[in-house]
Copies of this chain bind each other. A is one copy, B any other.
Amino acid sequence: MLAELRGLNEECGVFGIWGHEDAAQISYYGLHALQHRGQEGAGIVTKEGKKLHVVKDEGLVNEVFSGDAIKNLKGNAAIGQVRYTTENGRGIENVQPLVFRSTTGSLSIALNGNIVNAVELREHLERQGSIFQTASDTEVLAHLVKRTTSGTLTQRDRVKKALALLKGAFAFVMLTEDSLMVAQDPNTIRPLSIGKMGDAWVVASETCAFDIIGAECIRSVEPGELVIINDKGMHSERFAEASDRAMCSMEYVYFARPDSNIDGINIHSARKRCGKQLAREVKIEADVVTGVPDSSISAAIGFSEESGIPYELGLIKNRYVGRTFIQPSQELREKGVKMKLSPVQQVVQGKRVVMVDDSIVRGTTSKRIVRMLKEAGAKEVHVVIASPPLVSPCYYGVDISTDSELIATNRTVEEVRDLIEADSLTFLSADGMLKAIGRSPEMKNCGQCLACFTGNYPTEIYSDTAMPHEKEIVR
């Protein structure tokens, strides 16, 4: 489904590089490839000698780094982040990477994820005298590192001790005066990969960032691993025992770019297999298969291939929809003025249409598209969803705030079908999804997190666990 149309937002994407003279520019390309993971803000911090330079702002990557911004970011190491869109207005202070300056050395941090015990840790830290200037969990880590000052600990040890206190989903990139550090939570809930670009080391939330810069993916960061990259090379340590792997299923289903691989599995291929599996799980008499662009195209192709029903472009996305687009008034909307997505009348007219989507959140968009197809003449609209029903909130960095927003919570499939006005509605089974994605069957849930489909969370959840969007008002 179109990112613009739904209420399902990824926290962010992170990138890091060590040992390249064009560190800032490479980071720019990397963040550009990760732009789909966050459109609110972008930032890059570079290291020139012991000095950290920072440029960050609200906006898209190419807006934040227009003009000479990149040229001024000197140095041969960098970290960067793109951030997702909230509606809480301006919040430049929350744009990452955050920089913490200190007489004993500066530290910059960027995060993809959500710390489930952040509220508890903040309160603890504040009682000890810490002051917070942002709503970000990243600041919690910085304070923990600073506090862990018992005697003769090295910075590396202090970072490990601090990381060990965190619970939840977190993929961190950190830049210090002498190293790039990368940390992954014990369940590896968010993707994070390491690559090489000639002699330089790179890290990124998704491997598509490696492709754009011509880097090669080496491996994923391991559960509970702290990777230290410095002039002596790459060095791996553990800050916590590995738990069950629980990679976010929605990364495969919706978030990640089709050309990325997560743990060696290509996203497009996984989605196509989900579409095929879906076609095995349900038999529909229909004339055409169409996907809701952009994220459902792969599943739609798979469904078509397996079912033998021809794949068509039944829905076209307007490429030029931008953020400054003037919205039609309610009156004009009722007269039929529609932006963003158009049905292709000749393709659907008089046809029985299978409309493939990756997931249903609130259901309002699904209903709108079903109606649109019917108004364009579709005889029947069969909605097939290439994942199980979403029924539980996510505490690991996806902005599904409450289960009351989810149309499938406490509703039968038939009730949902009725609400979205489809002729039939089919969800992919959880087992079918796991099988189609194809991660290791020996692991629990094949190493995937199914919490939003089942309500079973791979980590502890606290009474005060806050979702990302709630942190704006936590104090």
A29 touches B319 (CB 8 A): no
A258 touches B62 (CB 8 A): no
CB distance from A70 to the nearest CB of B (A): 6
List B contacts of A61 (CB < 8 A). 320
List B contacts of A142 (CB < 8 A). 131
Instruction: Select one of B35, B305, B338, B473 contacting A320, CB under 8 A.
Output: B35
Residue of B nearest to A53 (CB): B89
Instruction: Select one of B22, B132, B257 contacting A332, CB under 8 A.
Output: B22
- Given contacts A129-B149, A332-B22, is CB(A268)–CB(B326) below 8 Å? no
B131 touches A328 (CB 8 A): no
Q: Which of A241-249, A341-349, A420-428 contacts B (4 or more CB under 8 A)?
A: A341-349
B131 touches A344 (CB 8 A): no
Check if A130 is an interface residue, CB within 8 A of chain B: yes
A268 touches B344 (CB 8 A): yes
Tell me the chain A residues, 55-76 only, with Cβ under 8 Å from chain B: 55-57, 60-63, 65-66, 69-70, 72
CA distance A324 to B328 in the complex (A): 27
- Binary interface profile of A, 90-103, with partner B (CB < 8 Å = 1, else 0)? 10110000111111
- Binary interface profile of A, 115-146, with partner B (CB < 8 Å = 1, else 0)? 00000001100101111111100010011001
Check if A78 is an interface residue, CB within 8 A of chain B: no
B266 touches A345 (CB 8 A): yes
B326 touches A70 (CB 8 A): yes
How many interface residues does chain A have, given as a range? 35 or more
CB distance from A458 to the nearest CB of B (A): 27
B133 touches A100 (CB 8 A): yes
Check if A280 is an interface residue, CB within 8 A of chain B: no
B328 touches A475 (CB 8 A): no
CB distance from A149 to the nearest CB of B (A): 7
Residues of A bordering B, CB below 8 Å: 22, 25-26, 28-29, 32-33, 35-36, 51, 54-57, 60-63, 65-66, 69-70, 72, 89-90, 92-93, 98-106, 122-123, 126, 128-135, 139, 142-143, 146-147, 149, 197-198, 208, 211-215, 257-259, 261, 266, 268-269, 272, 294, 297-298, 301, 305, 310-313, 316, 318-320, 322, 324-326, 328-329, 332, 335-339, 342-347, 473-475
18 contacts across the A-B interface (CB closer than 8 A): A26-B337, A60-B320, A62-B324, A70-B326, A93-B93, A101-B134, A129-B143, A129-B146, A131-B139, A131-B142, A198-B335, A212-B318, A213-B335, A214-B338, A258-B316, A258-B344, A266-B344, A272-B312
Q: Told that A103-B122, A214-B336, A259-B316 touch, could you supply 19 new A-B pairs with CB distance under 8 A?
A: A22-B332, A29-B339, A32-B320, A32-B325, A35-B319, A62-B326, A99-B133, A100-B132, A105-B475, A126-B146, A133-B133, A208-B316, A212-B318, A212-B337, A257-B316, A266-B345, A268-B344, A268-B347, A301-B312
